[in-house]
Structure 1
């Protein structure tokens, strides 16, 4: 073991409840977003309670402060719509998303520079657009709007479209970890010589570090490697030393990918879409579990179906250390979801909030009827079991995902719900 610079392959996975709790909150907000999008797509931006009840059973929708019930003045039936706070949150998020488009352009340029061929499939970027801070119409508002940076290849068929980089920009080929090292070097001076190729390590609480693991980690931290932005096509990668450097380069590539995201996290399934373009290992879960001091893989948040990878150095006590406006806007929705309906009602009474009939001709239903209606369609929110999550974590995700490029967040069929309602 002392002769090797590799970290032991079999590592004990240690849970970090700060990240898992973060994903439990996101699970609730994800359900709300599904219903919220359906309501916004309706003509009157409201849903009848009968249809909402169907959605509640399908996605586990629960009572919260994002939606309110009112009585239709003509049909005399109960409808559901977004509250004023939810509408303001949507407006704030849209404004933050629009304001950070220049950052998203730079992010996409850097992402393409990390690719072997300077191109990525449009569909793969579309699936990861929310994590990268790209708008839904990024193909037109970002790619086609900046022809000096991007071009579309094979544009006749959407699934075969590629985003290609027009020209590399050397000033962008600097990793986030390199900026951290430079800051440490300036602070410590000559004492920081050992951090030249190292990463910030923060093991989860309860992680056991043995003597041989310390030795392997010490050697691995000092192992040179090629930058994710460096072209390695001309190197002979057959030697053991080259393979070790490529393994560490893969760590740097995933680290940089997470650094480019809005919340410094992304699902493992989305990382897998960029595996071939960035020379990442086939068994990504096992690879990331070897580096629990750099990354954290959470199975919480979607019944173990998705694995969310966090950049540990970017978080402290379950919160982003350097939050941005888009992250803060998204967290506003989580605050609304966690706010109890009773407290929200008291707050509205304190500020004397009432919807104006000039702004909304639907009117309002009485408080008692609202509470009774909520109780009728309230769904169950079942917590994930650790045993099931561990089983899902050991499942193989190393297969080729290029043939299955669906959006993992859309876990239910909206059209089927509509058909059930009309039948």
Structure 2
């Protein structure tokens, strides 16, 4: 085909036509997205929280002597993204970290302050008290899976976001053997978490259904129940330019029926309506997943570990442009986070 085109252009030079195809790269797409100043400021502060948690985990890794040397932290400063060094980072948070000199080892060490240790113990007690809620979250995640199975490594990626205890394999999975089962996967050194006792889909209600009921039950409610039946709570970032065509597409998308996250989807149709239904189902799954997290937010890289079992690659990539701020994406450096509208 290319050879024939070259021969044609050589025989007919006056027909020469240069066609330049425009291509939008992923970085250009991210740069062109409308930014929400509130969430941008939040993520700017949130990155420091992640660094604090990483150092805290290293300190608490030794329960007998919860401390770590500054020399050890300095060696890990690049991996922990401590750009100005470990000592400079620790001094920025004197209410969290206490630097002291250990005479027996002749080097400075770091430990958590007493107030920080009290907060840590309170968090541990709160997690242990919410174990029934944690079990329900795992059941819901497995119920959204088409096979009622999820790789255990995917759960490990989001254990903190789901409010799981650090020993959840023993305290949650093993103690609820009537619900969960660990199976060997085809790959070596990998396990699959399986839901043993399947629950009927009508026993599980998506979080967005509660919002729809509240909207319909308001005294001054003027919403059409036939419209809100498949709608999501949504808004637009400040300063976003909205064309009439875009508003019409959003309104059409909100009215469009879809299969809920806990319902089984039938045969997928490659029609325009079938594709839109698959994309909207993907939105409902991600929305429900975010509602199960403690802070109603999760890193996109972490949630992507569930895409092959909960939604396929096409659906995962397709839900982004059709979910105006009921799922919000915020970039912080090389990391992208997605927020549920319940966190707004």
Q: TM-score, normalised by structure 2?
A: 0.80
Q: Which residue of 1 aligns with 2:290?
A: 258
**What is the Cα deviation at residue 298 of structure 1?**
1.4
Q: Which residue of 2 aligns with 1:44?
A: 65
Given that residues 279 and 319 in structure 2 are in contact (C-alpha distance below 8 angstroms), is that contact kept between their aligned partners in structure 1? Answer: no
1:219-298 aligned at under 5 Å gives the runs: 219-232=252-265, 234-282=266-314, 284=316, 287-298=319-330
RMSD: 2.5
Q: Which residue of 2 aligns with 1:68?
A: 98
Change (3 A) 1:287 1:227: closer
SS in 2 for 1:242: helix
Q: Does 1:178 align with 2:206?
A: no
Which of 135, 139, 152 is residue 169 of structure 2 equivalent to? 139
In 1, the alpha carbon distance for the partners of 2:140 and 2:56 equals: 33
**What is the Cα deviation at residue 249 of structure 1?**
0.7
1:86-105 aligned at under 5 Å gives the runs: 86-105=116-135
**What is the Cα deviation at residue 253 of structure 1?**
0.7
**What is the Cα deviation at residue 189 of structure 1?**
7.3
SS in 2 for 1:308: strand
In 2, the alpha carbon distance for the partners of 1:189 and 1:209 equals: 23
In 1, the alpha carbon distance for the partners of 2:189 and 2:321 equals: 32
Change (3 A) 1:173 1:204: same
1:11-410 aligned at under 5 Å gives the runs: 12-42=32-62, 44-56=65-77, 59-60=81-82, 61=86, 62=89, 63=91, 64-65=93-94, 66-75=96-105, 77-154=107-184, 159-170=189-200, 171-187=202-218, 188=221, 191-232=224-265, 234-282=266-314, 284=316, 287-300=319-332, 304-311=333-340, 313-316=341-344
**What is the Cα deviation at residue 123 of structure 1?**
1.1
**Which is bigger in relative contact order (C-alpha 8 A, separation at least 6)?**
1
Change (3 A) 1:50 1:248: closer
**What is the Cα deviation at residue 73 of structure 1?**
4.8
Given that residues 259 and 277 in structure 2 are in contact (C-alpha distance below 8 angstroms), is that contact kept between their aligned partners in structure 1? Answer: yes
**What is the Cα deviation at residue 169 of structure 1?**
2.2
Q: Which residue of 2 aligns with 1:399?
A: none
Q: Which residue of 1 aligns with 2:26?
A: none
Q: TM-score, normalised by structure 1?
A: 0.66
In 1, the alpha carbon distance for the partners of 2:106 and 2:121 equals: 30
Given that residues 250 and 281 in structure 1 are in contact (C-alpha distance below 8 angstroms), is that contact kept between their aligned partners in structure 2? Answer: no
